[in-house]
Structure 1
């Protein structure tokens, strides 16, 4: 039986005046959103049922302001997302779901490796969905923090999904931002793109792998995926080179890049086709360089981050059996894989730190412990789980 709203607010009062004020403002905000929700297709009964006992989750505001794909160095971001574990697991999923992936490719034109790469990056192949109640997170983001108009649209969409019966409120859990399921669709994306690929009469990205894989292929098709075309190429730039011509939106014919002396990273000439391509330098002119094509943009539409898009692109290449990235990142302290991060956590525990579970996820406790060890050794105390501190701890008794 749901706890009455009065009791919930009483609990908030016990937690302190500031929190109680926040919760009162939150309830007032939700009441003010009801008319718009009705205009957006949410019945009065649905809105009342799923908002009357909601309390704000203010932790989502912190997450909103610290998104890792925008705040983490690219070499740290990619080292954990494109590691040997994810590559090996992805190859196993390609075999396990081959018939579904082949059917999705026939219908939508998107190759299996790209679909599986999205699955791997978004939820580690269904192992990390996120456990936040979506209605609570989206309601909070609709009333607090920045981008409230955007999150209100997602909140109304989530309520319509529950109302339709595709997904129940109890199973509707996901990330802090409202993404859910195997390939982490936002609610409005689900409404627009999700397909019933297993034929059971429901679109369910949480319990149905076929629905998730088919829906992901459909999304990329709708984002103008070009069947049979690569996402792009790692390239080698001539020296000197004017990096001002770089940028995902600054596309030029391949002949332009050939004339500039750009070559594939192995030294071979660029393809003869005069396809429009853009030069992407995720770590600046001194780091790895990529010529990206239309399919890079289709992946970018899934999550508007160069780092994220590059993770999908590089992982998909390795799932196809291609070699990994050749050029080194411009750092003297490269990132660590998830296996190395678990090793780092075990070493921190051995040095007496209480950091919780060894899971390869570097949270606040792990970062604080890393900072303390960095200070002891005269290293930059940035809390990064890099190779330098890992090697230092390996060498310590």
Structure 2
């Protein structure tokens, strides 16, 4: 081998260590083989068939790159995060989605107590109303993370197990299902375990189809929130005025409401909340501007069960409010 080829080979090896180290297929991983034996014993799968499916996919370097935290974490900024979801396209798209699916949304609200605008906003944030649902093979993505991402291997092995059960229960080819790089599926981006626990057949066709049925997606989002404690008719969040920087302990109390609004008022934190309300103090940090503070109620916490981020929950809430306002304006013309 001449010097140029040797140098090129070394360069490629160093640039793509995953490709050099990765097994030929998922099935070649000892952990995958043990997993196949385990679910065969506990759930009656045929281990050989599972390994045959694993042999058809390979560890996906793009999945590992997308899931990994950045080497230098980006500074949190509500100012930069908010416009990704609070924009004219998402608001107008939400109004159209509501108009097109008004019957299913009203039925979901009646059955589960979740307002139409909140259901619409979650679907809008997750997939732009079903337009962006992911093009990764779910089996490949979950298996890659289950056996080649030690940091969260336990979680993704559990989701891989749930996915194989889901596929068997619904007569799906595991190799044909597409989703996000993390294995989330369909219009509402449910992980397989959430789909098995919370999804519903809302269109009455005797199957749950979160990828193809908007009605199923609507009903499933509403039921997910209801099962996590949504309080019908109760607020989500209100803006708060502070006399200065709050005590660190108030912010460290966590995202689940545990503070009494009356106690916060006694410390100078003013908001439109009943004194006996249990709330959390939410800080929406932006390096570009002053921090924005809100009080979040139980329903705010429930939204974070979908995605454990105060930025996410506030985006859903504010998008929901904008969609509702825009729809009402149209109706009043």
TM range (shorter): 0.7 to 0.9
Q: CA RMSD in A?
A: 2.5
Q: Deviations over 1:87-126 (max 9, x none)?
A: 1111111111111011111111111111111100000000
Measure how far apart 1:166 and its partner are.
5.3
- Which of 104, 107, 127 pairs up with 1:103? 107
Pairing 1:241-256 to 2, within 5 Å after superposition: 241-246=246-251, 247-249=254-256, 251-256=258-263
Q: Deviations over 1:281-327 (max 9, x none)?
A: 121793110100000110111111122112111111212218xxxxx
**Contact 1:282/1:307 (CA < 8 Å) preserved in 2?**
yes
* Residues 1:262 and 2:262 are matched in the alignment: no
Q: Which has the higher contact order (CA 8 A, sep 6+)?
A: 2
Unaligned runs of at least 5 residues, structure 2: 1-12, 327-333
Residues in 1 aligned to 2:177 and 2:17: alpha-carbon distance in whole angstroms: 31
Specify whether residues 42 and 215 from structure 1 end up closer, same or farther in structure 2 by C-alpha distance, changes over 3 A only: farther
Specify whether residues 80 and 154 from structure 1 end up closer, same or farther in structure 2 by C-alpha distance, changes over 3 A only: same
The secondary structure found in structure 1 opposite 2:284 is: coil
Residues in 2 aligned to 1:42 and 1:125: alpha-carbon distance in whole angstroms: 37
Specify whether residues 38 and 111 from structure 1 end up closer, same or farther in structure 2 by C-alpha distance, changes over 3 A only: same
Residues in 1 aligned to 2:63 and 2:44: alpha-carbon distance in whole angstroms: 24
Question: Corresponding residue for 1:113?
Answer: 117
- Which of 136, 142, 152 pairs up with 1:147? 152
**Contact 1:166/1:203 (CA < 8 Å) preserved in 2?**
no
Specify whether residues 170 and 24 from structure 1 end up closer, same or farther in structure 2 by C-alpha distance, changes over 3 A only: closer
Residues in 1 aligned to 2:214 and 2:171: alpha-carbon distance in whole angstroms: 15
Question: Corresponding residue for 1:279?
Answer: 281
**Contact 1:224/1:298 (CA < 8 Å) preserved in 2?**
yes
Question: Corresponding residue for 1:362?
Answer: none
Measure how far apart 1:18 and its partner are.
6.2
The secondary structure found in structure 1 opposite 2:43 is: coil
Question: Corresponding residue for 1:227?
Answer: 232
Specify whether residues 107 and 16 from structure 1 end up closer, same or farther in structure 2 by C-alpha distance, changes over 3 A only: closer
| TM-score, normalised via structure 2 length | 0.83
Residues in 2 aligned to 1:245 and 1:16: alpha-carbon distance in whole angstroms: 45
Question: Corresponding residue for 2:330?
Answer: none
* Residues 1:198 and 2:203 are matched in the alignment: yes
Residues in 1 aligned to 2:121 and 2:303: alpha-carbon distance in whole angstroms: 11
Residues in 2 aligned to 1:190 and 1:31: alpha-carbon distance in whole angstroms: 26
Question: Corresponding residue for 1:9?
Answer: none
Specify whether residues 40 and 109 from structure 1 end up closer, same or farther in structure 2 by C-alpha distance, changes over 3 A only: farther
The secondary structure found in structure 2 opposite 1:192 is: helix
User: Quick check: 172-181 or 284-293, which moved more?
Assistant: 284-293
Pairing 1:303-342 to 2, within 5 Å after superposition: 303-321=307-325
Question: Corresponding residue for 1:63?
Answer: 66
Residues in 2 aligned to 1:73 and 1:214: alpha-carbon distance in whole angstroms: 33
- Which of 204, 214, 218 pairs up with 1:213? 218
Measure how far apart 1:73 and its partner are.
3.0
Pairing 1:121-136 to 2, within 5 Å after superposition: 121-136=125-140
Count of matched residue positions in the alignment of Structure 1 and Structure 2: 302
- Which of 179, 191, 211 pairs up with 2:184? 179
Specify whether residues 225 and 161 from structure 1 end up closer, same or farther in structure 2 by C-alpha distance, changes over 3 A only: same
Residues in 1 aligned to 2:207 and 2:98: alpha-carbon distance in whole angstroms: 24
Q: Deviations over 1:330-389 (max 9, x none)?
A: xxxxxxxxxxxxxxxxxxxxxxxxxxxxxxxxxxxxxxxxxxxxxxxxxxxxxxxxxxxx
Question: Corresponding residue for 2:35?
Answer: 33
Residues in 2 aligned to 1:316 and 1:308: alpha-carbon distance in whole angstroms: 12
Measure how far apart 1:23 and its partner are.
1.4
**Contact 1:154/1:188 (CA < 8 Å) preserved in 2?**
yes
User: Quick check: 159-168 or 87-96, which moved more?
Assistant: 159-168
**Contact 1:42/1:163 (CA < 8 Å) preserved in 2?**
no
| TM-score, normalised via structure 1 length | 0.70
Task: Give 4+ residue runs of structure 1 displaced > 4 Å after superposition.
Answer: 15-18
The secondary structure found in structure 2 opposite 1:147 is: helix
**Contact 1:251/1:279 (CA < 8 Å) preserved in 2?**
no
**Contact 1:110/1:217 (CA < 8 Å) preserved in 2?**
yes
